[in-house]
A and B are shown apart, each in its own frame.
Chain A
Amino acid sequence: MEFTDINKNLPNGENMGGIVQKVYFGFWADVETWPTKPTNPADIEANGVLTGTVVMKAGKRMFEMYITDDTGEFNIESVGEVDGKSFVEHLTFFHPGLQKKILGFMNAAKNDNLFFIVTDAEGQMYLMGDSMRPAVYQGSPDGNGTGKETAARKGMSAEFTYKTPNVYVYAGTVPLTPAASV
């Protein structure tokens, strides 16, 4: 791989923060094939993107979840000692209300292996999960519940993490329809 110059590169001057108002999720065990990490990439740009797409097992699909605006965040934390550096990706969000669906999601997600696709404000996507590791529930950074005052916001906050040796952009498809056996 060759290094190249890294200039200020903000297409159309865009560099808005945050993530969009939905995240995509699924069970890690329902994935048939994962996109592949770069091997022997031509340049540093190719070293930052996954190749291929998530393909689900027959009859399985991904799902979307609404999140309240300005509550979602995708954060890349650098961890490890010298010569042992890696990353932990964090997804945090707030879903309004305490409806049965969101409670059922929490019940299912808290001790299971999931994966997520997160979209930033420019439409760039990040995949939390690979063939080796899932995204897992860490807790509720802003709590779950009704809130105290009537002016409070009822709902569920959640944080999921995914440990990865490298960080990549996901350029594949989000399958919101079940996979069919070919």
Chain B
Amino acid sequence: MWRKYFKLKGLVPGKVVVPVHGTIDFSGTVPVETCKELYEDDWPFLDITDEGKQVLYGIETQAKPPVKKPTRKRTSRNKTDKPE
């Protein structure tokens, strides 16, 4: 659940010891409230996702513009060859 709202940065998911919170294992389930507290304390190893911003803080994130597929330019063979 927490992974929907936050993402670990700079650490492989696993155990860390954080003052006040004790040992937290980010390879498993972590209460969202704990992540929120860490994020609000500017804990350097946690980033918030767009969904987290929206759900937990009501911040609307800008929708990404649709990705355009690159269009292949049609090249006609023998373009210079004019029919006689």
Contact = CB atoms under 8 A, between A and B. Distances in A.
Interface of A: 24, 52-53, 55, 61, 123, 125, 171-180, 182
Interface in B8-57: 9-20, 23, 26-27, 43-45
Interface of B: 9-20, 23, 26-27, 43-45
Please classify the interface of chain A as helix (H, G, I), strand (E, B), loop, or mixed, using the class held by over half of its residues. Answer: loop
Please classify the interface of chain B as helix (H, G, I), strand (E, B), loop, or mixed, using the class held by over half of its residues. Answer: loop
Contacts of A177: 11-16, 26-27
A175 B19 contact: no
Given A55-B10, A182-B9, A173 B15 contact: no
A123 B19 contact: yes
A180 B44 contact: no
Nearest to B45: A173
Nearest to A176: B15
Contacts of B26: 177
Contacts of A182: 9-10
